[in-house]
Structure 1
Amino acid sequence: MANSKFEYVRNFEQPDNLLPNTWIVVRIDGRGFTKFANKYAFEKPNDRRALDLMNAAARQVVTELPDITIAYGVSDEYSFVFHKSCSLFERRASKLVSTIVSTFTAYYIHYWSTYFTETPLSPPLPSFDGRAVCYPSVQNLRDYMSWRQVDCHINNLYNTTFWALIQQGGMDALEAEKMLKGTYAADKNEILFSKFGINYNNEPEMNKKGSVIFRDYELVEPGTHNAAAEAENQAEPVQPSKSQADNERKRRAKARIVVEHFDIIKDEFWDRRPWLLSNKPGKIPKET
């Protein structure tokens, strides 16, 4: 590389490496999406087109970045999880976050016309911001994922009740807020059922649980492995041989990437899918 008197400016670039041997979660959020949703008249409390669009963009991110082991999304946010053994981009926060944000935003705009067929985009265009957080243990990671899903449930129950009061109950926003102030989940369920005949349990699973994206392999029986313990006991990332790495890469490429709406708080989801914590591809399901 040629030297010049201007090269000193590189000294201002500071390292932003993420902690080694930790789980990395990159969470992205829509910027100014309340105003954006109003501009395009998103349906309240949930617009199926908007949620499907988020899932389509996120699925492409997972497809293009095989180091992502699982992703979880709700509303205008998505979390992408990288395994603790991942060395992608030398674990640099800025490069990792910018790659996720730019790839997601590009596909969000690309797929917009697929889901909003009669509403073309116009400036200001949708954009997202992101941050990267390191979690040292499997329990920390699972607690993070549980937190996001619990948050999804709490917000969706509130919003479902709030908008029922407005759209079906004839209240304005201030009246609905006042009625819901200090209420618990049981109170909101009672309001929905007694006033509007809505059984919250029958609401779409995506609205109640959010969306989880992962590579799908054959399910295993719980108790036949302990992927969590193996991941915790791994003192440092184990680098596979070239042949092992090639084999794993091929198996990941063959795996179907699915979008599901499962309970990710309970152990069963993780126990039946050990590859999410071990970072070792499972068996490709036989076609039926």
Structure 2
Amino acid sequence: MANSRFEYVRTFERENILLPQTHIVIRVDGRGFHKFSDFYEFEKPNDEIALNVMNESAKQLMKTIPDIIMAYGDSDEYSFLLRKDCQLFDRREFKLITTFSSSFSANYQYYWNKLNSSKPLNIERLPTFDARAIVYPNDLNVIDYFKWRQVDCHINNLYNTTFWNLVIKGNMTTKEAENKLIGTLSSDKNEILFKEFGINYNDLPEMYKKGTIFLREYIDFPISKYKEQPTNECLIRLIKRSKKTEIKQYHCDLIKDSFWSDRPYLLQ
């Protein structure tokens, strides 16, 4: 940038540098996706094609940003965990959130046109995403964060599945369905689905109930050797030996401690 007498305006710029050696999670959320889903007539309660568009968008972001070690998403949101020693953009918050939001928006539009070509995008209602960066000081906080998101996925999906079956198959108005579900527990919703519509919630696709997980996994990581000597020094040594990684997709329970204990490198 050339020097000039107008350059003083740069002194107004401010950067927020995220704390070093802390875990960074960046959550991407769809902007106005209730209206977006209505505009493009998403299938209720879950639109498989739209979810696949989200998943492919997240996977592509992982391919282009190697610092992403894990991603979890459902509905219109995705959370990305960066390596603890990540120095992407020197950990500048604004750079991170604008890159993630703009890249995810671009990916989503690309994969929408590829996977959902029967519903071409309209300039009046384009999909866009915003993002926020959260810093967590320790491993437990990160684990609890992703557990929270998966529990939220289950609660929302069970409610939406029951709600939309009452509306679509039970011929209720949205207000009537809403009133029927006020104060109900998970067991009550499961009973409504089974008794009134013959639906066993446990038989529904795992992607709907548990969301989607992408992991950058060490494909030859000797977990048995690490469990014999579970120290940071041993973990670092084994990571150096296990150089090959692969992005893998799961629809599984990450609330169980075994999910994390079997992959100690996620938080290293």
Could you report, residue by residue, the CA deviation over 1:9-56 in whole angstroms, capped at 9, with x for unpaired residues? 011001211111110011010001111101111000100000000000
Task: Pick the aligned partner of 1:265 from 255, 258, 265.
Answer: 255
Distance 2:192 2:143 in 1: 32
Tell me which residue corresponds to 1:84.
Answer: 84
Could you report, residue by residue, the CA deviation over 1:149-204 in whole angstroms, capped at 9, with x for unpaired residues? 00000000000000111111111100000000000001101111111111111111
Is 1:127 the counterpart of 2:128 in the alignment? yes
Tell me which residue corresponds to 1:21.
Answer: 21
Task: Pick the aligned partner of 1:223 from 211, 223, 227.
Answer: 227
Q: Which amino acid aligns with 1:61?
A: L
Distance 1:38 1:115 in 2: 18
SS in 2 for 1:101: helix
Could you report, residue by residue, the CA deviation over 1:187-240 in whole angstroms, capped at 9, with x for unpaired residues? 10111111111111111100000001112324624834547xx49xxxxxx9x9
Distance 1:42 1:218 in 2: 40
Tell me which residue corresponds to 2:31.
Answer: 31
Asked whether the 8 Å contact 2:214–2:250 carries over to 1, the reply is yes
Per the normalisation by structure 1, the TM-score is 0.85
Deviation at 1:114, TM superposition (A): 2.0
Q: Which amino acid aligns with 2:147?
A: S
Deviation at 1:122, TM superposition (A): 1.1
Q: Which amino acid aligns with 1:11?
A: T
SS in 2 for 1:223: helix
Asked whether the 8 Å contact 1:55–1:259 carries over to 2, the reply is no
Asked whether the 8 Å contact 1:97–1:131 carries over to 2, the reply is yes
SS in 1 for 2:19: coil
Deviation at 1:274, TM superposition (A): 2.0
Task: Give the unaligned 5+ runs of structure 1.
Answer: 232-237, 279-288
Tell me which residue corresponds to 2:71.
Answer: 71
Q: Which amino acid aligns with 2:205?
A: P
Mapping of 1:34-113 within 5 angstroms? 34-113=34-113
Distance 2:150 2:7 in 1: 48
Task: Give the unaligned 5+ runs of structure 2.
Answer: none
Q: CA RMSD in A?
A: 2.0
Q: Which amino acid aligns with 2:180?
A: M
Is 1:191 the counterpart of 2:192 in the alignment? yes
Tell me which residue corresponds to 2:209.
Answer: 208
Per the normalisation by structure 2, the TM-score is 0.92
Could you report, residue by residue, the CA deviation over 1:84-129 in whole angstroms, capped at 9, with x for unpaired residues? 2112111110001111111111111111122212111111311000
Distance 2:3 2:190 in 1: 68
Asked whether the 8 Å contact 2:15–2:93 carries over to 1, the reply is no
Tell me which residue corresponds to 2:116.
Answer: 116
Distance 1:167 1:39 in 2: 18
Higher mean alpha-carbon deviation, 218-227 vs 48-57, is at: 218-227
Distance 1:109 1:208 in 2: 25
Tell me which residue corresponds to 1:284.
Answer: none
